[in-house]
């Protein structure tokens, strides 16, 4: 009886996990296909009712909205730049932590740990004030800089965990076999380190893409406003009636890049998320 | 680790060397150069603004009247601490933290057990569990807000005990339930992945031995599995608790603090950005930072979390 019940339990559990993860996503997609009239008049229920469907028109409307289009560009640009820079700095630091003995290693790791847990909202006031003084309020750099500092801890952990696993003796083995230092680095170390760097990049991108606090407080116009902030300020034509289905379409658009990344790099993300927290 | 121990024979000059060999000095200076950019960046955006907040918190300073800035000492802190709003928001935040982490721990552990055992559709399940993790918190907030909505949602019609026109956002308690639902939905996967990594470290031999000795399923869970993944559980709780304490996005999107559902982060944001009260806002920032430290300290002390496990380095 044991085997069978635990088998059934696992299957039921697996289905529960799928429902848990996908139901709200399915819901927001279903909502995005409800027509705006139906939503205004009230259309309870999971699926669009008969005649209450809107086809792709919500998506068309949302993508034709200048502010929203602009926020997509902002989000992609800001997140990518922040990711690349953050991963470069984190790679340098993680190499030092994993490979070198130095005074102050503890300080670096503790700083990273404290910053990872920092209540971001408590920085919003002083940063708001400082950024206006420096003239980078409501600009891309004004968001890129805080995103970098807040993704560095995660990237440093993930990368130093990965780097510690790399068999560095292979570099010397290659040199003994006649490779130059550059060849040894290029042909041996880079391929071994690349998966870790890539994982750190994905997690960093997720953070930057997800951020809301800095997005709403350090921007004031579509000049630098990222998607989450744009979504929360999206009021549509009638400010007294939030256009739920339009918002849902916008939300789906904002989620698509994440889903694509998850679909392609599932293994790497799981490895990275857990590498920083538990020895593995 | 140090596979290339080069003895610095030639370099033993008479120069005063208090820090060991040339080799280790060179390593030190290289390491410092490599670490410097990251450290500087992290401190510029956190330590410096925090000190600035500490300074500004001593002033009566409003951005609407910047010239009237006036030194007031600790009175901003007194104003904040003697205001019932501050305590109401703090207790909201603490409640959200405790409830969501507790629920996530239980559900997340269940998910981890299933993922650990599951054979069919392993890839599909692991892929889909990352989707809530990746979805923007604001989107999660919207999805759940509309789901709970009495005009356009489906929750009322699916729940047997809720009337069809029950307004979830009409009063405090049900609003909090909706907020916590969106938070729990989004962050349980993260919890379950951390727990799964811990679960993978429980040795099968030990479980097998317990089984042979006649331990029941519950006994194996309580006496073998849980004690052996203590470190993973504690790290997951610490990370998630501090993350939950910062809750802001969901509340902003779902209720905007209506019906007393504000969190302490939201209060701070409102003072600074919406009302431009930089003085009292900075005092709140400092208090928020201090309260996170207190929460971290309590968790580390009460649960005796070993931080070396968290960052893998002593």
pLDDT in tens, B213-267: 888 888 888 888 888 888 888 888 888 898 899 898 889 888 888 888 898 899 8
pLDDT of B277 > 60? The answer is: yes
Residue A34: strand pairing partners: A53
Q: To which H or E segment does residue B66 belong? A: strand B65-71
- pLDDT tens digits along B9-36: 344 444 444 556 787 888 888 888 888 8
In a domain, B244, yes or no: yes
A278 and B113 within 8 Å at the Cβ level: the answer is: no
pLDDT of B178 > 80? The answer is: yes
Residue among B38, B189, B278 whose CB faces A89 most closely:
B38
**Positive/negative CA dihedral, B213, B217, B221, B223:** negative
Q: Does A26 touch chain B (CB under 8 A)?
A: no
pLDDT of A50 > 80? The answer is: no
In a domain, B37, yes or no: no
Determine what percent of chain B falls in helix, strand and coil, rounding each to the nearest 5: 70, 5, 25
- The per-residue pLDDT of chain B, averaged, comes to 82
pLDDT of A260 > 90? The answer is: no
Burial of A278 (C-beta count, 10 Å sphere; 0-12/13-18/19+): buried
In a domain, B200, yes or no: yes
Look at residue B312 in the predicted model and tell me its pLDDT: 45
Average pLDDT over residues B152-167: 78
**Are B30 and A93 contacting, i.e. CB atoms less than 8 angstroms apart?**
no
Look at residue B306 in the predicted model and tell me its pLDDT: 60
In a domain, B77, yes or no: no
In a domain, B243, yes or no: yes
pLDDT of A239 > 60? The answer is: no
In a domain, B23, yes or no: no
| Cα–Cα distance for residue pair B263/B98, rounded to 1 Å | 14
Residue among B38, B128, B232 whose CB faces A90 most closely:
B38
Q: So what's the ipTM on this one?
A: 0.85
Look at residue B1 in the predicted model and tell me its pLDDT: 39
Residue among A27, A213, A274 whose CB faces B197 most closely:
A274
pLDDT band at A51 (very low <50, low <70, confident <90, very high): low
**B201: domain range?**
88-274+282-311
How many angstroms from the chain centroid is the CA of residue B227? 23
- pLDDT tens digits along A131-162: 888 888 888 888 999 999 888 988 888 888 88
In a domain, B25, yes or no: no
Tokens 């919890």 -> residue: B191
Among B53, B97, B134, B189, most A C-beta atoms within 10 A, so best to mutate, is B134
B63-67, B142-146, B193-197, B212-216: segment of lowest average pLDDT? B63-67
pLDDT of B311 > 80? The answer is: no
Look at residue A62 in the predicted model and tell me its pLDDT: 81
**Are B22 and B6 contacting, i.e. CB atoms less than 8 angstroms apart?**
no
**Are A34 and A46 contacting, i.e. CB atoms less than 8 angstroms apart?**
no
CATH number at residue B191: 1.10.3720.10
Question: How many structural domains does chain B have?
Answer: 1
| Cα–Cα distance for residue pair B275/B292, rounded to 1 Å | 24
| Cα–Cα distance for residue pair A208/A86, rounded to 1 Å | 11
pLDDT of B164 > 80? The answer is: no
- In chain B, the residue whose alpha carbon lies closest to the alpha carbon of A35 is B152
Look at residue B18 in the predicted model and tell me its pLDDT: 52
Q: Does A254 touch chain B (CB under 8 A)?
A: yes
**Maximal C-alpha separation, chain B:** 87
Q: The whole model's pTM is what? A: 0.84
> Domains in chain A, ordered, with CATH?
65-233 (1.10.3720.10)
- With b meaning 16 or more CB within 10 Å and e meaning fewer, what string describes B230-260? ebbbbbbbbbbbbbbbbbbbbbbbbbebeee
Look at residue A240 in the predicted model and tell me its pLDDT: 56
Look at residue A79 in the predicted model and tell me its pLDDT: 92
In a domain, B235, yes or no: yes
B50 and A95 within 8 Å at the Cβ level: the answer is: no
Q: Percentage of residues in chain B with pLDDT exceeding 90?
A: 11
Among A31, A125, A225, most B C-beta atoms within 10 A, so best to mutate, is A125
């Amino acid at each position: 009886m044991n085997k069978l019940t635990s088998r059934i339990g696992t299957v039921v559990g697996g289905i529960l996990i799928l429902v848990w993860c996908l139901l709200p996503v399915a819901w927001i997609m279903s909502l995005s296909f409800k027509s705006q009239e139906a939503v205004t008049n009230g259309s309870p229920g999971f699926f669009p009712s008969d005649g209450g469907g809107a086809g792709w028109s919500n998506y068309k409307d949302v993508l034709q909205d200048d502010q929203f289009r602009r926020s997509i560009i902002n989000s992609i640009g800001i997140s990518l730049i922040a990711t690349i820079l953050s991963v470069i700095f984190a790679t340098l630091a993680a190499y030092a932590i994993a490979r070198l003995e130095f005074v102050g290693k503890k300080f670096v790791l503790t700083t990273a740990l404290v910053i990872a847990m920092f209540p971001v909202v408590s920085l919003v006031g002083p940063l708001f004030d400082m950024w206006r003084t420096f003239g980078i309020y409501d600009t891309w750099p004004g968001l890129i800089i805080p995103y970098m500092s807040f993704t560095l801890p995660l990237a440093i952990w993930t990368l130093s965990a990965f780097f510690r696993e790399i068999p560095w003796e292979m570099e010397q083995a290659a040199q003994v076999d006649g490779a130059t230092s550059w060849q040894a680095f290029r042909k041996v170390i880079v391929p071994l380190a690349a998966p870790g760097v890539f994982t750190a990049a994905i997690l960093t991108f997720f953070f930057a893409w997800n951020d809301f606090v800095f997005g709403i407080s350090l921007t004031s116009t579509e000049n630098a406003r990222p998607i989450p902030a744009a979504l929360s300020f999206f009021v549509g034509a009638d400010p007294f009636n939030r256009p739920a289905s339009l918002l849902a379409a916008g939300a789906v658009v904002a989620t698509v890049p994440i889903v694509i990344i998850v679909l392609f790099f599932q293994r790497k993300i799981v490895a990275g998320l857990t590498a920083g927290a538990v020895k593995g | 680790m140090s596979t290339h121990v080069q003895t610095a024979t030639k370099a033993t000059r008479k120069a005063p060397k208090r820090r060991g060999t040339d080799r280790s000095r060179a390593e030190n200076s290289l390491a410092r150069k490599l670490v410097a950019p990251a450290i500087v960046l992290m401190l510029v955006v956190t330590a410096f603004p925090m000190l600035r907040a500490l300074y500004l918190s001593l002033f009566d300073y409003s951005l609407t009247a910047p010239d009237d800035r006036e030194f007031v000492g600790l009175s901003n802190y007194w104003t904040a601490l003697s205001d019932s709003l501050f305590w109401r928001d703090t207790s909201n935040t603490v409640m959200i933290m405790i409830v969501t982490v507790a629920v996530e721990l239980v559900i997340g552990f269940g998910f981890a057990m299933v993922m650990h055992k599951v054979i069919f559709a392993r890839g599909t399940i692991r892929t889909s569990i990352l989707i809530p993790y990746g979805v923007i918190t604001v989107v999660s907030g919207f999805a759940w807000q509309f789901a709970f909505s009495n005009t356009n949602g489906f929750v009322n019609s699916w729940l047997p005990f809720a009337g069809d026109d029950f307004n979830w956002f009409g009063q405090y308690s049900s609003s909090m339930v909706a907020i916590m639902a969106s938070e729990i939905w989004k962050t349980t996967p993260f919890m379950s992945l951390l727990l799964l990594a811990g679960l993978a470290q429980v040795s099968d031999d030990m479980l097998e031995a317990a089984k042979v000795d006649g331990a029941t399923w519950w006994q194996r869970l309580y006496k073998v599995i849980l004690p052996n993944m203590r470190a993973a559980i504690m790290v997951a709780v610490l990370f998630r608790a501090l993350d939950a304490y910062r809750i802001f996005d969901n509340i902003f999107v779902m209720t905007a603090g209506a019906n007393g559902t504000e969190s302490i982060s939201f209060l701070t944001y409102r003072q600074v950005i919406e009302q431009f009260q930089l003085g009292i806002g900075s005092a709140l920032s400092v208090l928020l930072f201090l309260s996170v430290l207190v929460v971290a300290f309590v968790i580390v002390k009460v649960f005796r979390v070993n931080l070396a496990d968290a960052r893998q380095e002593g």
